[in-house]
Each structure stands twice: as structure tokens, then as C-alpha cells.
């Protein structure tokens, strides 16, 4: 019976290792694919600007959206955390880009313009609230899960005492 339990424990360890390896591989492949698509879309937008001969504000904002997406992928790749602030920045930029297009094409529709302005204001308010909450209630410890399944607890930089 003891031998059977030992074999079961070995199988569980192997399955855990294989599962963590597959999840880590999928994770990194997905990040590289998303990063590649962002770069590809940026190049296509840049070629579109070059074909037009001059950039418009919508083109610049679109390139800025791609830049933020790339930064978000980079931060997630390095830290394994996805800051919600990046998503809000992208949403604000996208709504601003759309608002400029609306004003350019349909300048007389006041209600739609106000709707987008209120949406941007709500996003800015949520961004302020996130920043305030992270300042007022900072996280004390960061727990990181390594690809081998082990957890590592890190101390905040301002808690480290240097002699």
C-alpha cells in the first residue's frame, strides 16, 4: 500500500510539472503572438500614413494605442501582472480618437459628443481612483508564482533596509 501511495505521489509531481510547463509555454507563446500582432498592426498603420503623405491626428492616436498595447504586453511579460491603468489609458485614447472623428465628420451632433466626453471623464475618474487607492493602500507584499509552481514572496522596495 505504501508503494502505491509513493507511485501516486510521483505521478502527481510529474503531472504538476508537465501542466506547469505547458501553461508557461502557452503563456509565453501567447504573449509573443500578441506582441507580434501589435507590431504588425503598427507597421500597417505607419505604411498607411506614408501612403497618405502626412499624418493626421487619428493616425497618431492609433499609433499611440499600439504603443500602449506593446507596453502593456512588455510589462506583463516582465512582471506577470497586467496593470489595469494601461487598459484605461488605451480606452481613453481610443475614445478620444473616435471623438475627433465624430467632430470632424458630424460636428453638429452635440449629444454624441457630450456622451463621449462624459465617457472619457468617467475613465479619467476611474484612473484617478486607482492611483489614489494604490497610493493610500499600497500592497505590502507581492507573491509571484514561478513556472515550476513554487511561490516566491517579495518585499516592497521601500521596506528593504540597506545598511
pLDDT in tens, 70-108: 988 888 888 877 788 889 999 999 999 888 888 877 666
Rounded Cα distance, 163 and 50, in Å = 56
Per-residue pLDDT at 44 exceeds 60: yes
Could you tell me what percent of the chain has a pLDDT over 70? 80
The packing angle between helices 84-105 and 110-136, to 10°, is 160
Q: Mean pLDDT over all residues of the chain?
A: 81
Rounded Cα distance, 132 and 101, in Å = 32
pTM: 0.66
Looking at residue 104, what is its pLDDT? 79
Residues 6+ apart with CB under 8 A from 122: none
Per-residue pLDDT at 144 exceeds 80: no
Looking at residue 74, what is its pLDDT? 87
Looking at residue 148, what is its pLDDT? 63
Amino acid at each position: 500500500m505504501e508503494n502505491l501511495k509513493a507511485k501516486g505521489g510521483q505521478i502527481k509531481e510529474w503531472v504538476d510539472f508537465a501542466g506547469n510547463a505547458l501553461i508557461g509555454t502557452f503563456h509565453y507563446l501567447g504573449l509573443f503572438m500578441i506582441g507580434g500582432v501589435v507590431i504588425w498592426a503598427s507597421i500597417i498603420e505607419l505604411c498607411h500614413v506614408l501612403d497618405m503623405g502626412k499624418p493626421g491626428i487619428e493616425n497618431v492616436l492609433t499609433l499611440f494605442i499600439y504603443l500602449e498595447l506593446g507596453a502593456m504586453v512588455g510589462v506583463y511579460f516582465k512582471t506577470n501582472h497586467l496593470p489595469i491603468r494601461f487598459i484605461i489609458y488605451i480606452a481613453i485614447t481610443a475614445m478620444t480618437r473616435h471623438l475627433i472623428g465624430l467632430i470632424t465628420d458630424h460636428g453638429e451632433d452635440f449629444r454624441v459628443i457630450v456622451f463621449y466626453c462624459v465617457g472619457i471623464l468617467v475613465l479619467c475618474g476611474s484612473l484617478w481612483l486607482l492611483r489614489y487607492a494604490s497610493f493610500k493602500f499600497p500592497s505590502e507584499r507581492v507573491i509571484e508564482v514561478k513556472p515550476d509552481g513554487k511561490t516566491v514572496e517579495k518585499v516592497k522596495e521601500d521596506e528593504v533596509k540597506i545598511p
